[in-house]
Structure 1
Amino acid sequence: MKIALPSRQNLIDDHFGHCEYFTIFTVDKDNKEILSEETISSPEGCGCKSNIAQILSDIGVSIMLAGNMGDGAVRVLNNCGIEVIRGCSGDLKTVALNWLEGIVSDSGDSCHEHECHN
């Protein structure tokens, strides 16, 4: 299973559409471990209007662990088969491991202040 995290300096970037890069962890959910890590450059411009959702889907990402994002971005990711978990923050590996342990859940909060999401 692959999970993606919008990233900046090895931390969850709270603004999905303007993160520096995406960290992709391949995980073994049954054994609750990270098997490998890779990064993908963030596209220029607003994340919800870029092709990042399709790119992530094409490489097998099925979960996005994010800080916050607008409803439009959530919809685009969901339409590409990627479940979005909002409300994450902190160190990337810690967030991923906490999710594997089942202690991370979607906050339900959506960003309404960015022009891509109005």
Structure 2
Amino acid sequence: MKIALPSRDDLIDSHFGHCEYFTVFTTNDSEIIHQEIIPSPAGCGCKSNIASVLAEIGVTMMLAGNMGDGAVNVLNNSGIEVVRGCSGSVKEVALAWLAGTLTDSGDSCHEHEHGCQH
């Protein structure tokens, strides 16, 4: 399984559309076996091509902080499940997901919902 996390300084970036890069972990059932960095495209997350880029490399899960409904829909339509409300070290968040201790907060970044503007 491949998990992507919007990142800044090895931490979950609290705003999906403004992250510096995406950390992508390849995992087995219980551990991280590989890590790679995917540069963040210019522009807002929901209007960029990041969903297709991540889907093409096999990402099926996004662990994120805040994210608008538009971005969630774009990711879901590319076969990527989204868990919102994550914070802290990207590695610790990924390990928490693997341990089954993370759930989606359901919180959307509503001020960006219509047009995903800054």
Name the residue aligned to 2:21: 21
2:25 maps to a residue whose letter is: F
Cα distance in 2 for partners of 1:92, 1:79 equals: 24
Cα distance in 2 for partners of 1:11, 1:72 equals: 23
Tell me how far 1:55 sits from its aligned partner: 0.3
Cα distance in 2 for partners of 1:56, 1:79 equals: 12
Pick from 70, 73, 93: which aligns with 1:75?
73
Name the residue aligned to 2:56: 58
Name the residue aligned to 2:10: 10
Where does structure 1 lack aligned partners over 5 or more consecutive residues? Answer: none
Percent of matched pairs sharing the same residue: 71
Where does structure 2 lack aligned partners over 5 or more consecutive residues? Answer: none
Aligned pair 1:42/2:23, yes or no? no
RMSD over aligned Cα, in angstroms? 0.9
Tell me how far 1:113 sits from its aligned partner: 1.7
Cα distance in 2 for partners of 1:8, 1:20 equals: 5
Cα distance in 2 for partners of 1:105, 1:28 equals: 19
Cα distance in 2 for partners of 1:35, 1:54 equals: 23
Q: Secondary structure at the match of 1:62?
A: strand
Instruction: After the TM superposition, list the runs of 4 or more consecutive aligned residues in structure 1 that deviate by more than 4 angstroms.
Output: none
What's the TM-score once normalised by structure 1's chain length?
A: 0.95
1:20 maps to a residue whose letter is: E
Cα distance in 1 for partners of 2:48, 2:14 equals: 18
1:93 maps to a residue whose letter is: K
Aligned pair 1:111/2:113, yes or no? no
What's the TM-score once normalised by structure 2's chain length?
A: 0.95
